[in-house]
Every structure is written in structure tokens, then in C-alpha cells.
Amino acid sequence: MSITNNRLSKEQYEKNFADIHPPFENKDAALVEANRCLFCYDAPCMKSCPTSIDVPKFIKQITTENIKGSAHTIFSSNIMGAGCSKVCPVEKLCEGACVYNLMHEEPIPIAKLQRYSTELAMEKKWQLFTRKQNTGKKVAIVGAGPAGLSCAHVLSREGIDVTIYEKEKQGGGLMTYGIAAYKVTPQFCKDEVDYILSIGGIEIKYEQELGKNITLEELQKNYDAVYLAIGVGLARQLEISGENMEGMVDAISFIYDIRNNGFSKVPVGDKVAVIGMGMTAIDAATQAKRLGASEVTMLYRRTQDEMPCTQVELDIAMLDGCKIIWLAAPKEVIGENGKVTHLVAEKMKLGESDASGRRSPVATGETFTIAVDMVIKAAGQTPYQSLVTTNNLENQNGKLKVNHSLTNIKGVFAGGDCVNGGREVVDAVQAGKDGAKAILDFMLNVEC
Amino acid sequence: MADIRSNFLGIKSPNPFWLASAPPTDKKINVLRAFEAGWGGVVWKTLGSQVKNVSSRYSAVNYGGHKIMGFNNIELISDRPLDINLKEIIECIKLFPDRAMIVSLMADNDKKSWHELIKKVEDTGAHGLELNFGCPHGMTERGMGAAVGQDPEIAKMVVEWVMEKATIPVITKLTPNVHSVVPTGKAVVEAGTNALSLINTIQSVTGVDLDTLVPNPYVAGKSVYGGYCGPAVKPIALKFLTTIAQNETTKKVPVSGIGGVSTWKDAVEFMLLGASNVQVCTAAMKHGFRIVEDMIEGLNNWMDEKGFNTLEDFIGKSVENIVHWEDLDINYHHIAKINQDKCIHCGLCYIACEDTSHQAIDLAQGKPYNTYSIKDEECVGCNLCQLVCPVDSCITMEEHRIAPEYINWIEYQKRGLPLNDH
């Protein structure tokens, strides 16, 4: 057993990481589905979208061959509508609410139709928005992820110049660095950022990290308002012995490496354990398998009823051949010469409901051991607690506290994962819109 | 099993489904394929002085992802030599003696031409003649087709010429490009036609190409009015048919129903409103001759379920149910009811009623599903909600009579009953 990279041929990598949700083959295929849409009034799909995309309208526009209008409808509500069409857990959002479900029929493939219109808009480089006259106002945004980009786009439309400070070399945030490669490609993420920036008035300064290259004071001094969209980043530690041995990796860095370095460069074990059952855990487990691991086992403290990922995601992992062990928590990592050889896990049972309303896992004292050479930790991410505390930002365990996007500091706003602790891309996009609205209100008030 | 054999003026066919005079019936190979598929008869594509056709010849109206809701053609009468047509008609009759062979005719506008053509066609052994007084494109510009059917006097004159010569049954095909088919219908019945058929196609422009700005169908950068047919024209055909079935003069002759017949259900509706049989074209052009299989089976099953043994048992049965508006019962009232167990919360009933009708549906907000219910006192019973609802039997119309007795508008006025009752 060993951890090695370059396990597969180029063809195998390409096959394993091919688009999991391929687009419509052609216009006719899209029209068949678009024509099925009932064009509901006050539509449940729209109400289930965190960014409230007018789904019936954009689908109707596909049927009238007004694709430009369709893309405009989508992007007006969600400037990352193209990326969201690939990464949204639509089974619990728009498609999950489609009225066809109530007829026990397949829901409208909303994401696929959204992809149809938005991809065409990006491919043709349609500029669907015009900037209002320049207001002379300037806003700094920290983080070029979904929340930051969404906020920037709304502000730019309103005639405000935006500078985004991004610590990575590319924009897109978790869309670019934190999602399985079979959902979005690096090229797509780059194209999406470019498309968003094409409106003008938004500059991204890369490799600029808050607290390292820039300070909040500087930003406050040089701009009319600051929007913090710094996300969450640190992998939650398991707090068990052996956690620092070679072969222990966190899912975020693992996925980051896949997205950043290319498939053949990323080392993966023969037998891999993945701790957690969220979307990131699934992305890590399936990609470990697709990189060539012979055995991937996912461990989760609770049962399928409480899992944070959707059934659709779990199905991907199971179809990839990942083993699932419910009611199991990591207890100890055993190794030789500093390298992981075994994972000891404790069997759990369900106890009383906790604050989240889910039944909490209780240890039974009974343990079992599995042979592994790699353990991927995907038990959640933690916010940048010390960073926000140092900057005197009010927070709860590192999660920024805001009131209508405003932090405790005047002129400093925040939104996205750094506030909510880590949710979907589409939630971050909405947070960015809310942030922009709050900033606009603030700047108007200042003028008065 | 019901008996679906048809007897139209003594012309017998194993079922009441004929193919209309059109491209599917313009040569032997098509007609033999149709007979093999099971069609009861054909009306051979119109013969007359040979013409020349153009391309393209068809265009269509699609709707909601469905192709050919309406169909349009600019093809003229047969462009094949008359003697070849006549020879092939003889061969078809010989191979399928149990099927009806009607030949459509459009001679030049003189008695001699008509008489010569009738003689030649009767010599084939054909069972009947259909006079094409309906073709609305091309031929009309030459004073034929619809140009004849639109003028009762001219139509009467031509039928008189025909009846002098014809020894086999004559069906006169009427054009719908008039405000009423009755005047021409009456004129030709008085002139002696043995039967009527209707409708021919309706003059139309199906659309304009938004890139080239040339209307359809396209002929070297230009277009021309065409003849509209297919499912879209069925309601218009049924209305014209009913007016013929209700007129004292025209109701004396049998009618062959034409206009958007695509299924056995359509056929039954035509027959209920007075057609003795039906003619089909567009549906066959869209799907091929195989559609007749379900038409035969469906008609049979429906007749069995309703207890009708022969076609005559139900032909014309619905004619009396179309009355004058003044005869409608004003005391009849019904109110929509939404079955909450079936409702899928699409809101289509609500927005239709709220925006365009009587604000009679209540919306209770829910996330993500709203609840919709009828405000009984506001509902005028218009049916709009039921028509837009995508779920079968989710919205039903429940009878709530205003008063038990029948009262029509004339009596209502006479009694001075109130107008502002809602």
C-alpha cells in the first residue's frame, strides 16, 4: 500500500473526470424539455432558488428562441447562473420543488436548461448589462469567490468602481478550488470569472491576502465601503491521536490540488478513508476513487437520515464504488514510520436531537479497525477566527456577525460563507446581492 | 363488434375512412399502400387540364413543441397526364374492388370540358365523382376551384352541367372561404348534386421567416396564399358542417366530413354533427397511412361501449344539441371546484382567473407551494381554470342551478328578470 500519483493513463483520467451532467446535445433536445415546463405562476422552483431566478420565464424564453433574453433573466438574479447550473444541489432546490414531482413525473431539468442558455451567452460573449453612469464611488471587496463576484457585479452595474483583493491566483473561490472536477473544469471557472468581469469597472488584484498583504484599515481609508467575502477555509480537525501522520490530508487541500495541479500530479492512496458525509466529503471520496484508489470507505457519525449531502450526491459515491459505513466516528489513526496504516473507528448510536434538529451521535464504546494508507478529513470547515478577531470584527466562533450585511464596523460589510459558516454557491451569490444592496443604501445615506 | 361498414350513396366501403383528394391520392403506388393499410376509400387527386407545380409546396404551424398543428399547401391539381391517372385508377379498382374509388374533378369552365372529363372518368369504373369547388390557391386565379364554390350561381350552373352527364353519384366539395357555406350548398343541392363534402382548405399565410422576411412556403424568395388544413381547422369545419346539417335543403343529402380529422375521435365528432363518413389528409401526410388502424379500432370500441351497432345509429345525433343562443337555459349555473388532493400548485388557474377573468380564485401563500381555492360567490362558471389546469379532473364544474326551471333569454327579458345578479 502506498500513496502515489500518476496511477492512470491520460485517457482514464479524462474518462473519470468527464462532465457528470452533460449539456443538451442540441437545440431540439433542449426544446423538448423546455416545452414540458408548465410555466407555473408564483412558481415553486423560483421560490426554492436562494437567488429567486425566474425559472418559468427563462424556460419560456428558450421555447421562443429568445436565448439572449433567457440568459439575461438568469444572470439578472444570479450572475453565477452558469456555474450554479453545474454545481447546485438542484434536487433539494428548484428541481426538488418542480410541480411535476407531485404528479410523480420527472421534474423539468432546470439546471440543464439554465446551462443551455448561460453557456450560449458565455460562448457568444453576450454583454447583457450596461453600467450606469459612474458615481465616483469606490468599493473594496475581499475575496473573489461567489459572494465577492456577485456583490461586485451588482455594484458595477450601479456605476461603482470595484477592486477585489483575492489571495489565490484565480478568481471563483470554492467554485474554482473546492468543487469536484467532474462538475466544473478549471477552464470553465476561468471563463465564468472573465465573463462576470466583462461588464467593466471591476478589477481583481490577485495574491493579495487580508492580514498579510493588505489590512482592513487601508481598505477602509482608501474606499467608500468594504465588503468581506473571505469564505471559510480551515479544515475542521478530528482531535484524535495520529492526526499529523503522513497520509492524513484534509479534503479542501486534496480537492484544491486536483483543481490546481492536474489529475496526474495528485497523490492518492490505495485504500482511502473519508471522514464526513457532506458535499465536500462526497467530492473527495469520488475523486479519490477516480484518481485510481482501489478502495474508498466513507465514515459518518450518524445515519443516512441525517446526512448533509443529498441522495443524488450519495448515489454518485455509491455508483463510484465507495463503501459507506454509517454510525462510525474516527477514534485513532495508527501508523508505521510516521505513515498511516490503520484507522480505528468507534461505532455510534443515535441519541437525542441536537440544536440542528438532527439526532446526535452517541459513542457505544465498541470499535473496529480498517486498513488504510490515506485518510481524508471532510468533517467541515472552520472560519478564519483569528483573522476576524484581530480586526475587531464581532463574530461567533469566527463566523462574522452582520445586520443586513453590515458588520459591527461602519462601512464594513460581509456575506457568504464567512457569515453563514459555509453553504452552497447559490447562497453566497444571494449574499453578495444583499451585500451590494446594503452598500448602495449606505453610500446613499452618506451622501444625504 | 360493431358494424363499421359504410354506405355512402350506394358506394360501399369497409369503414367510413376515406383519404381526401390530395397528394396522398395522386397515384397508384400511394393508393395501393393506403388500401393495404386499411383505408375504406380514396378520393383521387383532382383531375383536369394538366398543370405544373412549384417547390416548395407546404408549410406548417407548430405549437408548443408539437409539429403541424396546422398545415398549408400551394399544390395545384394533378400535374400528371390524364391518361396515366385514368389507367392507374382502373388498376387500383381492380386490385381492391371492395374499396370506394371517388375521383375529384376540376374541368375548365365550359360544359364540353366537364362532359368529356366525366365520360373518361366514368369509363374507369370509379364509384363516384367529387367536384372540386374549393381549392383556394392557384386554380382560383384561373376562375376555378374556390372561385366556383364562392359564387352560388356559378356553382349551380356547373353542377347542372355535371348532372346532365354523370351516371354515378356526384359529391360537391364546398369551400370554407365564404361567410357561410349554406348558399352554395343550397344552390348545388337544388342543381341536383347527390351529396356534399366539406370543408376544403382555408386561405392562409402560415408565417414569415424572421431571417429572410419571406412568408412561408418559400418559392424563390416569394410566397403565395395557401390552403390551410390539419387539426387547427377542425373547429371551423365542424361549424360549417353543422350549418349544412341544420339547413332544410342541404340536410337532405349525405355529407362527407373533411377538415382536420386525425383520430377516430375526430371522425366520431364529424359524424355526430351530420357527416356520413370522413375524409383524411393531413394526419396521413404527417404519420403515414398506418394511422387508420387505430381509427378503425377506436371507432369500433367506442361504438361497442355506447351500444351503437351501425354507423347510422349515431350519425347526426349531436346536431340537435347546437341551438340558437336565445334557446340556452339561463338558469343553468355551475361553479369550479379544485380537488386539493390532485392539485399540483402550479397556479395556472389562479393567474388566468385573476388577470383575465373574474378574480374568483383565492391564493394562500405557502413555501414553496401555494394553496388555491375557488371563491364560489365570484365564480361565473366560465371554465377557463379547468381549461388551463394541467391535471386531469383536478378542476371540475359543479352544477348549482339558479332556479330549477328552464328559462331562455327571450322569456327572461319578458319577465323583466334582473341583469345584475353577480
Is it the case that residue A395 has pLDDT exceeding 80?
yes
What residue spans of B58-178 are helical by DSSP H? 82-95, 111-122, 146-149, 152-165
A224/chain B closest Cα distance in angstroms: 38
pLDDT for res A2: 85
The CATH number assigned to the domain holding A329 equals 3.50.50.60
Q: What is the mean pLDDT of the segment spanning A402-422?
A: 96
User: Quick check: is A178 in a domain?
Assistant: yes
Cα distance between residue A310 and residue A321, in whole Å? 17
User: Quick check: is A133 in a domain?
Assistant: no
Please tell me whether residues A185 and A207 are part of one structural domain.
yes
Cell output for A257? 490540488
Question: What are the pLDDT digits (tens) for A268-322?
Answer: 999 999 999 999 999 999 999 999 999 999 999 999 999 999 999 999 999 999 9
User: Quick check: is A9 in a domain?
Assistant: no
Using an 8 Å CB-CB cutoff, list chain A residues near B388. none
Q: Where in chain B is the domain with CATH 3.30.70.20?
A: 325-414
For B368, which of A31, A44, A63 is closest by C-beta distance? Answer: A44
Q: How open is the CA angle A183-A184-A187, to the nearest 5 degrees?
A: 155
Is it the case that residue A339 has pLDDT exceeding 70?
yes
Report helix, strand or coil for A77.
Answer: helix
User: Quick check: is A395 in a domain?
Assistant: yes
Higher per-residue pLDDT: A435 or A356: A435
Using an 8 Å CB-CB cutoff, list chain B residues near A32. 65
Q: CB A99 to CB B370 under 8 A?
A: no
User: Quick check: is A308 in a domain?
Assistant: yes
pTM of structure = 0.93
User: Residue B366: closest CA among chain A residues belongs to which residue?
Assistant: A44
Q: CB B344 to CB A42 under 8 A?
A: no
pLDDT for res B421: 64
Cα distance between residue A156 and residue B253, in whole Å? 76
Q: CB A47 to CB B390 under 8 A?
A: no
Task: Please identify, among A328, A345, A380, the residue that sits at the C-terminal boundary of a domain.
Answer: A380
Please tell me whether residues A284 and A397 are part of one structural domain.
no
Please tell me whether residues A79 and A144 are part of one structural domain.
no
Q: What is the mean pLDDT of the segment spanning A411-432?
A: 96
pLDDT for res A327: 97
Q: CB B348 to CB A40 under 8 A?
A: yes
- Banded model confidence at residue A448, pLDDT cuts 50, 70, 90: very low
Q: CB A100 to CB B344 under 8 A?
A: yes
Strands A234-235 and A359-371 turn out to be unpaired
Question: What are the pLDDT digits (tens) for A18-57?
Answer: 999 999 999 999 999 999 999 999 999 999 999 999 999 9
Segments of chain B with pLDDT less than 50: none
Q: CB A99 to CB B346 under 8 A?
A: yes
For B347, which of A31, A34, A40 is closest by C-beta distance? Answer: A40
Please tell me whether residues A245 and A362 are part of one structural domain.
yes
Is it the case that residue A240 has pLDDT exceeding 70?
yes
Q: CB B64 to CB A63 under 8 A?
A: yes
B253/chain A closest Cα distance in angstroms: 45
Q: CB A63 to CB B65 under 8 A?
A: yes
- CATH architecture label of B325-414: 2-Layer Sandwich (3.30)
Using an 8 Å CB-CB cutoff, list chain B residues near A62. none
For B345, which of A32, A34, A99 is closest by C-beta distance? Answer: A99
Contact A418, A400 (CB under 8 A): yes
Q: What range defines the domain where residue A225 resides?
A: 138-233+383-447
User: Residue B67: closest CA among chain A residues belongs to which residue?
Assistant: A32
Task: Please identify, among A123, A153, A170, the residue that sits at the C-terminal boundary of a domain.
Answer: A123
Please tell me whether residues A34 and A90 are part of one structural domain.
yes
Q: CB A32 to CB B65 under 8 A?
A: yes
Q: CB B350 to CB A45 under 8 A?
A: no
Please tell me whether residues A321 and A424 are part of one structural domain.
no
B347/chain A closest Cα distance in angstroms: 5
Using an 8 Å CB-CB cutoff, list chain A residues near B363. 42
The share of chain A scoring above pLDDT 70, in percent, equals 99
Stretch 337-356 of chain B: residues touching chain A, C-beta under 8 Å: 344-348, 350-351
Stretch 45-74 of chain B: residues touching chain A, C-beta under 8 Å: 64-65
Mean pLDDT score across all residues of chain A: 95
Place of cell 365570484: B378
For A103, which of B344, B348, B350 is closest by C-beta distance? Answer: B344
Please tell me whether residues A344 and A435 are part of one structural domain.
no
Query: What length is written for chain A?
Result: 448
Question: What are the pLDDT digits (tens) for B162-210?
Answer: 999 999 999 999 999 999 999 999 999 999 999 999 999 999 999 999 9
Residue of A207, A287, A230 whose CA lies nearest to A255: A287
CATH dotted code for B6-321: 3.20.20.70
Does the CB of A44 have a partner CB in chain B at under 8 Å?
Answer: yes
User: Quick check: is A416 in a domain?
Assistant: yes
Cα distance between residue B261 and residue B285, in whole Å? 12
Does the CB of A102 have a partner CB in chain B at under 8 Å?
Answer: yes
Please tell me whether residues A406 and A416 are part of one structural domain.
yes
pLDDT for res B142: 77
Cα distance between residue A100 and residue A33, in whole Å? 12
Q: What is the H or E stretch that residue A367 is in?
A: strand A359-371
Q: CB A41 to CB B390 under 8 A?
A: no
User: Residue A44: closest CA among chain B residues belongs to which residue?
Assistant: B368
B385-390: long-range contacts (C-beta < 8 A, 24 or more apart)? B385/B336, B385/B338, B385/B349, B385/B352, B385/B353, B385/B357, B385/B361, B386/B336, B386/B349, B388/B348, B388/B349, B388/B352, B389/B348, B389/B349, B390/A38, B390/B344, B390/B346, B390/B348
Count structural domains, chain A.
Answer: 3
Does the CB of B301 have a partner CB in chain A at under 8 Å?
Answer: no
Is it the case that residue A446 has pLDDT exceeding 60?
no
B135 labelled catalytic: yes
Q: Where in chain B is the domain with CATH 3.20.20.70?
A: 6-321
pLDDT for res A321: 97
Using an 8 Å CB-CB cutoff, list chain A residues near B344. 99-100, 102-103
User: Residue B368: closest CA among chain A residues belongs to which residue?
Assistant: A44
Query: What length is written for chain B?
Result: 422
User: DSSP readout, A131-158?
Assistant: PPPP-S-EEEEE--SHHHHHHHHHHHHT
B96/chain A closest Cα distance in angstroms: 42
For A31, which of B65, B350, B368 is closest by C-beta distance? Answer: B65
Mutation choice for A interface testing from B338, B344, B385 by most A CBs within 10 A? B344
Task: Please identify, among A123, A147, A165, the residue that sits at the C-terminal boundary of a domain.
Answer: A123
Does the CB of A55 have a partner CB in chain B at under 8 Å?
Answer: no
A128/chain B closest Cα distance in angstroms: 22
Is it the case that residue A447 has pLDDT exceeding 70?
no
Please tell me whether residues A50 and A97 are part of one structural domain.
yes
